[in-house]
Every structure is written in structure tokens, then in C-alpha cells.
Structure 1
Amino acid sequence: MSNYFDEELIEEIKERNHIIDVVSRYVPLKKSGSTYKGLCPFHHEKTPSFVVSEEKQFYHCFGCGQSGDAIHFVMQMEHIDFIDAIHMLGDWAGISIEEYTTSDREKEEIHIKNQLYEINREAALFYYKNLFQTRNDGLKYFYERGLNSQTIKKFGLGYAKDQWELLNRYLLTKGYDQNLIYKAGLVIKRKTKDGYYDRFRNRVIFPIINVAGKVIGFGGRIIDKGEPKYLNSPETPVFNKGNHLYGLNLSKDVIRKKKQIVVVEGYMDVIGLYEGGIYNVVASLGTALTKSQGYLLKRYADEVIIAYDGDTAGKAATLRGLDVLKDVGCSIKVIELADGVDPDEYVRKKGKDAFLEKIKKALPLVDYKIKLAHNENDLTTTEGKIKFVQSITYILKTLKSPIELDAYIQKIALAAHISPEAIKSEIYGNNKGNYQKDSASYKNKYRSKNDRYTNKYDIKPIKPIQKMGYIEAEKSLLKLMMDDKRLFDKIKAIMTCEDFIDEIHIKIAKVMDDLYETNEFISIEMILEKLKQEEIPILHDIYKKVVPIENVNKAFIDYMDVIKKHKLITRKIEIENELKRIEKMEDKTPNEIVRIRELCIDYEKLLKELKKQ
């Protein structure tokens, strides 16, 4: 999308939105030399590895590798596309985006999205006014659910009257194009194709607002009996329900502070909990959680609490959500509610403190699945015990920690009165060797004595380094040079910066050389300040390298040998190619014959050098 924006606009946006100011809206930063540091907002960490360069106007995390400028940062933090990020930053800086647009395609796309945002906003105001114009079933419904006028206003709730074309006629009188009203998903084409009718009728309305504060769609709940009970806007250029979370626009700041987010099923659950004093809550827009929503949750919080309805359908939805969140690396817990009770009802009846206590007692993912399996099977019967163990086998296979696995095996064995060994066999097969092979806790125990790392000081890293290649050897060497000036001086006495092969590695080596001229110790931030943005990922790779701490002298000699060998092999190939080229010539000049002899002499020397490696 950025390719369709005028470069002048992008540069103006960046200049008017200083990256320190932008990042500080979300992350507390502290000055550290010529840069700023803080805890990374994209992954959990206790020691700051998130660096923001004031001079270069970009950020980089040396923990997870996230990197970019102010625009990219807002896109990542707010989970919005490039156009929305440009609009948001433009609003912050008082820049009119339309004044800078030049591409016809860009103008058309921005115009359509802006029109859809305007139409949705106008529709939301229309529904809201309907709710308070006269006493109606919509207002009665919200009052009966325990909401006050302040909460109704906070969420912009509304009411669609039981009329076929009320909204459509209103929007047309406001001057909006019929095709765009249809594109916004607010009306449906008649089967006779001679007109349109309102999508939402006789429903209470829940505007869906993105984190940038724009109305992107609507949800409607039927007042009387009818199907579907809940109706959402269709997919539009500004609305994809799998990419958004209801209520996040209001709860995002609280969630960032608490590092915890409560996920519920419905609109009223979000609103009810919010009114009850629990603000770190969102809903999944009536569908099973998607991976996109999972990544969004992970970006905002360290811990995700699932609080779906206590009925059977709610439990099924919970399991689907758990699996998606687990796949994207979220830390998950589940609140258990009584059958038929939803979070909104629970808070209204028992209060905020009771729900907070439920959060404290929320079950981790594996425990919740085990408990469900336990409840679904009668463990007083042999058949029930077998089904219980078999139903959770696939869960236990996903556990990576041997300690965690053993703890759960013991727990299940106690509950089902089945031996731990029998459960292990069920998980890994009847062949005992398979269990030993697959379980991390047995890997070292059953290796041959000759294959164990019993002598930690007799390190011979040359073989694995050869497999990695010269690039990895150079990175490891630079890591040693970065961490210790004494090692830097020792390496510099043997090889120069120019002896590195990769151009960026040469530059980084030169930067370290310059920094060590005036500093006994250098930091990653000091090096970062001397590099271009596109070179930072290479520095990140070097910083993350793990090199042997024992027998370091042997290690760096091996690294240099790998680099030297690569140069010899490269030169060998060059000589072979040049010899082939000259030998193909029919009439060789005396100089070319002399050149062949020189190349052959060099080739013999190279072969001898390679034999020594």
C-alpha cells in the first residue's frame, strides 16, 4: 500500500511524528547514551532490549527482532493497515492526507474508505438517536440488562426500528451514494433488483469501532423472537471480523498496563463487565477466534483469560479458541462458569470482586482440557477410564517440558487409578524404546558414553562451524569481538577488518574498531547508531549468536580458519574458471601461456593450503 502514497507525504508524516514521541505513547522509554531503551511491547521480557534511535528515527528489539519506523510501529501496535496508520499519524500531526495524494488509484482507495467510515459513523449516530427519540423496545432491553445512559453513550449503542428502508432513505438524503451504502453492508439488494432494504431492523445495535476510533461495522441483536439472534455486518473494505476485537478501542490502554486481557463471546458480555468495573475485556465478534485475533491479543497482553458462556456451545467455542491461541504462543487460562451463565450475568448478580476471584482461579489450558475430559467420562467404570486417558493423549503429546509432562501423567494416573507407565505407553506406543526416544528427559540418559558431553572443557567446535559456513563463522567472530575488547585486540592482531568477506560484516567490524579507539566497553546501541536501518537485522543476528565461553581462544581460531578456508575455496574456483576460459582459446598469446603457468603454480599452492585445513 505504501507504494501508492506520495513519498513527500510519507516523509512529512515521519518528520512531524518524532519516533520518540510516538513510541512513548505506548512504551516508557529511558535515555541510554545516544538512544532510548524500554521493555519491548511485542514480546514478554524483564530486561529491556527494545532500542529506539532518535538520530535514525527507527526502533529495533534485540530480543524478538521487531524493527521499523514510526509508521510501522503504529501499524504493529494498533493492528491497522498502512492507510489507517497514515491517517492516524496525520491526525496527530495536523496533516491533511488528501492534500498530498497524487496517484489515481491511491485517491480512489482512500476516498472509498473515507466514505465508508463516514457512512458508518452517520449510521451509528442515526441508530443512537433512534434509541432516545422515544421510549422503545431497544432502550427497554438495555435498561433491563442493567445498563445506564452513560454506558450506552460510551459504547454508542443504538436501535434499528422495525421498518424496511428507514436508514437507507436517511443516508440518501444526506447525499451518500447508494452503491457506497450497499458497499458498507448497511443495506441488502432486493431479489427483484429494483431497490434496497435495511440490513438491520427491529434490533438493538452495537457499533464495532477499530483501535483508531473509526466505526467499521455493526452487530445487531433481535428484540423479538426471530433468527438470526445476532446479525453482523458483512465483510467490507473496512471490516473483516476476523481481524478485530469488539471493545478493544476502549480497553487497550488498561490492557497494556495490566498485561492481561479477558476474552468473552458477546457484545453484552463486554459492556456488562465494563460497567461492572472490569475494563480489560474484549469479544471475538461472535466467531471462533482466528489466528489474526490471536496475534492481536498477544501483542497487547502477556496473559489471555477466556471467559465464554458456561453452556455446552460455549465450552466448544472455548476449546477452538484455546487451540488457536496456543498456536500463536499466547499464555492461556480459562474461567469456569456454571452452565447457562454468561460473564455479564455473573458480574451483575455476584459483582466485580467475585469475577476477579474467578480470574485468579482460572485454569491453565491443559488443566481445563483434562477437567472437561474428566467430566465427560465416568471414571468409576473401566470403559470410562480408558476413554478418559485416550481422550487426553493428544494433549499430553504437545507438551515440550519433560517435567510438565511427568507432572500431568502423575495427576492423570491418580485420577484414573491407572499406572503412569501404562499412560506413557498410551502416549508413546507400547514399545518402551519409543518413549525413551521421544521423551526429552531420556535423551541423554540412553546415549552411549562416547557420545555424551562428559568433558566440557575439551571443546572442538570446528566441525559444527564448518556446517554453518563462513557467514555464521564471521557472525560468531564479531560476537566475540563485540563482547570483549581484549578479544577484539587479539583478533585484530591476527586479521584486519577487511579480512571479513561479507560487506556488512566488514562495516560492523570497522564500527567496533572506531568505537574501541575511545571506549573500553561498547554496547549494542553504540553500534546500532552507526548503521543503516536495513543493516540492523544483521547486527541483531550477531548479537543473538551463542558462542562457547570455555576455551575461547580455540573457538576464535576455528572461526578464522573457516573464513580462510572459504577464501581458499573461492580462489580455487576462480583459478579453475580462468584456466578453462584461457584453454578454450585457439590461438593463445605468449602472455596467456605465461598466465596459465602462473595460475597452475597458484593452484598447486592452494591445494596444499587446503590440505592443511
Structure 2
Amino acid sequence: MAQDLKDTIKEKIDLLDFLTTKGITWQNQGSIPKALCIFHEEKTPSFTLSKDRKRYKCYGCNESGDVFDYLMSAEKLTFVEALRQLSAYLSLDYDDNTFSDQLEKRKKANIISSEVIEVNSLAQNYFSKQIFDESSENSKNVRHYLEQRGITTESIKQNFIGYCPDGNMGSLMNFFQSNKVNKRGVLNSNLLLKTDDNDWIDFFRNRVTVAILDENSNIVGFSGRSLHENSKSKYINSRDSEVFNKSNILYGLDRASENIKLKSQAVVVEGYFDCISGYDKGYQNLVAAMGTQISAENFEKLKKLVTYDSSSGEIIFCFDNDSAGKKAAIDTIDKLKENISSGSKNSEKKIRIKICFPTSGKDPDEIFRTNPVEWEEMINLAQNFIDYLINYYSEIYLKGPQKDTYKFLDLILPFIIESCDETQQSFYLAKISKVTDLSYDLLKSESSNLSKSKYRKNIKTIKDEDRIRRVIFNPEKAQEKHFLAILIDSNELFENVKDVEDVYFSDLHYRSVFKLWKKSQEVIDRKTLSEDLIFIYDEIEDYLKNDFVVDPDLSKDIELENVKNRLAIDFQKRRLNEAEMRLLELENNEQKDDNAITSIMDELVKITENIKELERSEVT
């Protein structure tokens, strides 16, 4: 198969080496090689190559593509000629006869496609005529229904909206016959259904129709909306044909593509009428998936469009603000995780993926009709998809009855490892550290340079079925356990720790034990402890019996003072890290607050001085 051979060539080809054989001289052979463009005259190199994606792009003339595009553009070869040359270059088998057969089949398919597109165009004329039929009461009711949805006569025409009446059997067939439409094209369009009685009925009967256009503005299919709210299928789409496959189509892309390029932003909504209402209000960068989720292929199309004239872009997914919408957001992210990663980390093109929900409970269609300003506010408040994942899963696994920190990390960390650059990783690991109360340093060491499989293997080795938050999981907390062990072993040292603040303890359980110890000033009564604290207290006592060691060269009070000092240092370092993350967040904000930035920088200086002073005060 030609496609199989093409895929093999694209997989095996080293585009840098191949283009070098074509006389291209690279001025930089690093991660993004550059050269003078052969498609236009220039003095400064703007022809770049992505080694990972095996694609080229000139930022001077916008020529771009893969190795086949290069040969067909630069050397004016046909696809078959390019296939033949590349097969020879890579020493792959090539059979002209096989591809001649393939070309014949493709030619026949193209003829059928043209026929189906022609039939669809005629069908749209029919549907359009029916919706404006003044003699039909049903047509008037349809227009009234659309008017109630804020869709004007002008919008009906611009958006190719129509009506397929219930009427007599085969009314669309009669229209085709009276216009002498190609019978093969009619049958392949799937606009008609054959009954058991061998009669023909209209597939979209008694539905509002919306024409679906491909990227070349050809009508390739239709969507039909039932006029009965209790209908079993409120929406139906054209059945698959030579030109229509819903997984390959994004509604509105023909209209929105240029605006998406200009804004470097695409917004994916859930329904056609969301798009139509948005277009009518001037929001021209909207598309809708043909089904419940966008396909990986369509996501890749959007990635290319949002970065067409820019080094970065964003794709925003808008979902209904209910449990189904929130679940749909998770499903979409999960389905596209590989594609999301390829557009984020280690890429010359940075893609921001965001999630948003209408705050008022309305769907986008209603927002556009009643309060378009709310739409702009909603888009501006869209969350990065990782923020959304953290918030969504923390409600389930950190706050809910299924509390499972391991599961939370297992779901979140792979996205951070695979999708974020170093700066983003630091930001999100700090955020996770805060919501899980786990050490930032530990999370960073577990995630740095790890693949998902390695990550899972490592994390499972430290998982405790009953207590994930064991001290072994966090070296920082070993100091806290050691400190408490000294106190429990030596009550007489109470006066030495009056100045220790509760916040020195990053572990909330250890903090609770310390507060109880300060309150009692003597041996803690286990009967007063909760189940969690009994577990922690027993752990400390076990540590005292088996592992507790005090430096033989130091007295207990000096040892305690040093550990107390290290707790203070750890606390200051946590403050430092939090301040750095706040600063990073402010600097990444489009509306920079210079006063707030200055204040945090002053805070960073003071915290750093505190840490240095504490480090100097340790007794040896």
C-alpha cells in the first residue's frame, strides 16, 4: 500500500541528512538546525528543521511540510515520483504496478467524492428552500423555533441551516429525480434510507439541518436536530460516506481557521449552535467536535493552526458546568495526553491547553445570546489543564471518602513529567507539595527525568497500603520524628522548646503530636489520641526502641537544639519555595503587578538571610 510505504519512509528518513544531500548547508546543527531558505531569497537563515517531528518550516515565506512536501514543492515531483525517489534512497522495495492500481482506485474514489459533494450541495438547496417555504406551517414553526434561539434569517443563510420536512416518503428523492441527479452520488451520500417495503425515506426527516463543511468549504455532510424535545436522538449526523467521517471533521473549521491563526487561539465547544451563536456575535475562532470528544487528528490540526504565525498558541476546551461536563473534560485530556505532551515539552512550538466552564450554568449558546461579556470573562479565566486535573482529582482523592494520595500522584505526575518544561514542573510540583503536604524536594527527585513507567515503579515501592504519608516517604520529616523522639524520651527538656512554632512541622500528624506534648508537658496518654495519631505515636516509640541515636559527642539538650535549628531551616526553605512560586506566578501573569513583585523579592532576601543565620548557629 502506498500509505504504508509513505509511513515507513517518514519513520526511517533522517530529514537533516536527506536535505543535506540536496545541497542545503546548515548554519546550526543543534536542536533546531537553520539554513538559508531555497524557496525564497534571504540573507538571514529562517529555514528551520524539527528533528523530532521530521518537518521543516521557513519563517520567512511560511513554506513547511515533511520530506514528501519538500520534493513535491522544491523539485516539482508528483507524489508517486517522490515515493519512488525516497524508496531508492532508503533501499526500500517499490512496485510501480502496485501504485498504478492504487492510483486507479484513488481516481475512482475521487470521482465518487465529487458526486457526493455535488449531491450534498443540491440537498442543501432543497433544505434551504423548505425552511423558507411560506406555504408550510411546519416551516414557519421551524423559523419561529430558530428565532427563539436568537438565530436570524441572515444567520440561517450564512450558516447553511435548513429544514427537512416529514412530508411524503421520498420527497428528497423526488427532488433529486426531478433535477436528474447522478444516482450513484445519491446512493453514496446516504441521505436516503430504504425501508423494508423498498420505499425511500429521508434520513433527516422532520429535523432542522445544519450543513457540515470541510476545510475547503465543500458540504460533506449534515447534522439534524429533532424538533421534538422528547426525541430519542436529539441530534443525528450523516452516516459515513466517501467524504464524511465525523472523527475527521471539526464543525466550523472552514470558517474559523484564519481567525484561529490570527489569534493563535482556538476554542472547542460542544455544539454546532454554540459555534453559530458565537459567530453571529463576532467570535470567529470557535469549532465543535463531531461527537462527544475531539479526535487526535483534529487536535493536531488545531495545534498547527494556533502556532501558524506564532511560536506559541492556546487551545481552550469549553464544557458544560455539570458533572457530565467535568467528566468529559477529564476524558478529553486523557484521550489526548500523548498529543498534549508532544505540543508542550521540548518543542519549539509551545501549546497551552486550557479548560473552562460557564460560571452561570448556561451553555455557550445562551451566553452569546444573553451576555457576550460573560464569554470573554470565562475565556480569560480558563484554567491550564494541569491546574484543572489537580483541582478535580484532589476533590476525589485528597478530600473525599476515597482518600488515596498514591492514586492522586499516579494520575497527576505523569502529565507533569511528560508535558511540562523545567519551569512549569517546578511550579506544579510546588502546588502538589502544598495540597498533599509532601516535600517538594521529594516530589522533584521522584519526577525528574523519569518516564511514566519508571515513575510508577518507584512510587509503588514506597507505597504503604494504610499510610502513604510514612516518614520514609519524606526525608524532611525524619528530622521532625527525631525531634519528637528526643522530647518524648526526655520530658525535662520542655523549657528548651517553648519557642518552637507549630508551623515548623510540615507533617500535620507530627504537628498534632507536638501540640499535645506541649499541652501535657508529660507522657502523652494514648487513649486521648485519634487512630491516625496512635499510628504516628507508635511509630515514634518504635523509632526510640530500634533506631534512635544521639550523637555521642553531644549532650541531649545540644542535640535537641541542633535538630530544632534544622526544623527552623526547613521551615524557612519551605517559605522560600512558596515565595519563589508566587513570584513565578506573578511574572507569568499578563498583567504584571510590579509592587507585588518587589514585595516578594524583598521577602526572598529576608528569608535567605534567615536561613544563612540559622545555618551559622548550629553547634558542633
TM-score bucket (shorter structure): 0.5 to 0.7
* CA deviation after TM superposition for structure 1 residue 161, in Å: 1.0
Q: 1:380 to 1:212 in 2, by over 3 A?
A: closer
Indicate the residue corresponding to 1:407 in structure 2.
Answer: 427
Does structure 1 retain, via aligned residues, the 8 Å contact 2:398–2:436? Answer: no
Cα distance in 1 for partners of 2:44, 2:398 equals 62
CA 145–375 in structure 1, closer or farther in 2 if over 3 Å, else same: farther
Q: What is the CA distance between 1:287 and its match in structure 2? A: 3.4
Shift of 1:31: 5.8
1:88 paired residue number: none
The reply on whether 1:254 has 2:259 as its aligned counterpart is: yes
Are 1:200 and 2:204 matched, yes or no? Answer: yes
**Aligned position for 1:611:** none
Identity between Structure 1 and Structure 2 (%): 26
Q: 2:189 aligns with which of 184, 190, 205?
A: 184
The number of equivalent residue pairs is: 372
In the alignment, which of 49, 55, 70 is matched to residue 58 of structure 2?
Answer: 49
Aligned partner of 2:322 in structure 1 is: 311
Secondary structure of 2:132's counterpart equals: helix
Query: Equivalent residues in 2 for 1:556-571 (5 A)?
Result: none
Aligned partners of 2:460 and 2:324: how far apart in 1? Answer: 36
1:219 aligns with 223
User: Deviations for 1:238-279, whole angstroms, at most 9, x for unmatched residues?
Assistant: 111111211111112111211211111111011011112210
C-alpha separation in 2, matches of 1:65 and 1:359: 38
Mapped pair 1:398 → 2:418: yes
For the residue of structure 2 that corresponds to 1:136, the secondary structure is helix
Amino acid at match of 1:67: Y
Establish whether residue 230 from structure 1 lines up as the match of residue 251 from structure 2.
no
TM-score of the two chains, using structure 2 as the length reference: 0.52
Residues 1:367 and 2:367 are matched in the alignment: no
CA shift, 1:156, in A, is 0.9
Q: Under a length normalisation based on structure 1, what TM-score does the superposition of the two structures give?
A: 0.53
Counterpart of 1:321 (choices 323, 326, 332) is 332
**Residue 163 of structure 2: aligned partner:** 159
8 A Cα contact 1:289 1:320, kept in partner: no
Local SS of the residue matching 1:277: coil
Alpha-carbon separation, structure 1, partners of 2:286 and 2:276 = 9
- Stretches of structure 2 that go unaligned for 5 or more consecutive residues are 4-37, 80-102, 308-313, 344-350, 447-454, 463-620
Deviations 1:554-600 (A, max 9, x none): xxxxxxxxxxxxxxxxxxxxxxxxxxxxxxxxxxxxxxxxxxxxxxx
- Whether the 8 Å contact between 1:204 and 1:222 is mirrored in structure 2 is yes
Change in CA separation of 1:223 and 1:406 when aligned onto 2, cut-off 3 Å: same
Residue pairs, 1:21-420, within 5 angstroms: 32-33=41-42, 49-50=58-59, 59=63, 67-69=70-72, 108-134=108-134, 135-163=139-167, 164-192=169-197, 194-224=198-228, 225-302=230-307, 303-328=314-339, 329-330=342-343, 331=351, 332-338=353-359, 340-351=361-372, 353-377=373-397, 379=399, 383=403, 388-389=408-409, 391-399=411-419, 401-420=421-440
Q: Evaluate the alpha carbon distance shift between residue 36 and residue 393 of structure 1 in structure 2; reply closer, same or farther with a 3 A threshold.
A: closer
Change (3 A) 1:380 1:373: closer
Alpha-carbon shift at residue 220 of structure 1 (Å): 0.4
Contact 1:42 1:299 in 2 (8 A): no
> How far apart are the structure 2 equivalents of 1:399 and 1:105?
41
Alignment check: 8 A CA contact 1:38 1:50 kept: yes
Residues in 1 aligned to 2:385 and 2:424: alpha-carbon distance in whole angstroms: 13
Task: Verify the 8 A CA contact 2:109 2:242 in the aligned structure 1.
Answer: no
**2:375 is aligned with what amino acid?**
F
Per-residue deviation at 1:65? 9.9
> Helix, strand or coil for the counterpart of 1:159?
strand
Verify the 8 A CA contact 2:170 2:199 in the aligned structure 1. Answer: no
Report how far residue 215 of structure 1 moved: 0.5
Contact 2:39–2:74 (CA under 8 A) maintained in structure 1: no
* Equivalent residues of 1:311, 1:339 under 8 A apart: no
**Structure 1 residue 35 displacement after superposition:** 11
SS at match of 2:142: helix
Q: Tell me if 1:429 matches 2:469.
A: no
Contact kept in structure 1, 2:207 and 2:227, CA below 8 Å = yes
- The Cα RMSD (Å) is 4.2
Aligned partner of 1:344: which letter?
D
The answer as to whether partners of 2:278 and 2:365 remain within 8 angstroms in 1 is yes
Task: Measure how far apart 1:61 and its partner are.
Answer: 6.7
Within 5 A, what are the aligned runs for 1:437-586? none
Aligned to 1:509: none
Which letter does structure 2 place at the counterpart of 1:315?
K
- In the TM superposition, residue 344 of structure 1 has moved relative to its aligned partner by 1.4
Counterparts of 1:379 and 1:106, CA distance in 2: 57
Cα distance change of structure 1 residues 30 and 350 upon mapping to structure 2, 3 Å threshold: farther
Distance 1:402 1:34 in 2: 34
Conserved 8 A contact 1:30-1:37: no
- Give the residue type in structure 2 aligned to 1:226: S
Q: Determine the structure 2 residue equivalent to 1:495.
A: none
Aligned residue in 2 for 1:445: none
Residue 72 of structure 1, CA deviation: 12
Secondary structure in 2 matching 1:231: strand
Structure 2 letter corresponding to 1:32: E
1:49-104 deviation per Cα after TM superposition (whole angstroms, max 9, x unaligned): 34669xxxxx5579x9963546999x99xxxxxxxxxxxxxxxxxxxxxxxxxx97
Confirm or deny: 8 A CA contact 1:128 1:156 kept in the other structure. yes
What's the CA shift for 1:213? 1.6
Show CA shifts across 1:311-357 (max 9, x none).
Answer: 33323332333344442334211112248532112222321x33122
C-alpha contact 1:158 1:204 (8 A) present in aligned 2: yes
Which whole-Å CA distance do the structure 2 matches of 1:177 and 1:286 have between them? 30
Cα 1:118/1:40, change in 2 over 3 Å = farther
1:70–1:343: structure 2 CA closer, same or farther, 3 Å change rule? Answer: farther
**The residue matched to 1:398 in structure 2 has which SS?**
helix
Decide whether the 8 Å contact of 2:206 with 2:227 is kept in 1. yes
Q: Give the Cα–Cα distance (whole angstroms) in 1 for the partners of residues 401 and 284 of structure 2.
A: 45
Counterpart in the other structure of 1:568? none
State the Cα distance separating 1:178 from its structure 2 match: 4.1
CA distance in structure 2 between the partners assigned to 1:344 and 1:264 by the alignment: 10
Task: Kindly indicate whether the alpha-carbon contact (under 8 Å) linking 1:308 and 1:318 is maintained by their aligned counterparts in 2.
Answer: yes
2: CA distance between counterparts of 1:171 and 1:222?
23
CA contact (8 A) 1:252 1:300 kept: yes
Q: Report if aligned partners of 1:219, 1:230 keep a CA contact under 8 Å in 2.
A: yes
Counterparts of 1:108 and 1:382 in 2: how far apart (Å)? 58
Contact 1:182 1:188 in 2 (8 A): no
Higher relative contact order (CA 8 A, sep 6+): 1
Structure 1 residues 130 and 38: alpha-carbon distance in aligned structure 2, compared to 1, 3 A threshold:
farther
Structure 2 distance, partners of 1:42, 1:216, is 36
Give the Å deviation of 1:405: 3.2
| Alpha-carbon distance between aligned partners in 1 of 2:333 and 2:57, rounded to the nearest angstrom | 29
Query: Following TM superposition, by how much is the alpha carbon of 1:138 offset from its aligned partner in structure 2, in angstroms?
Result: 2.0
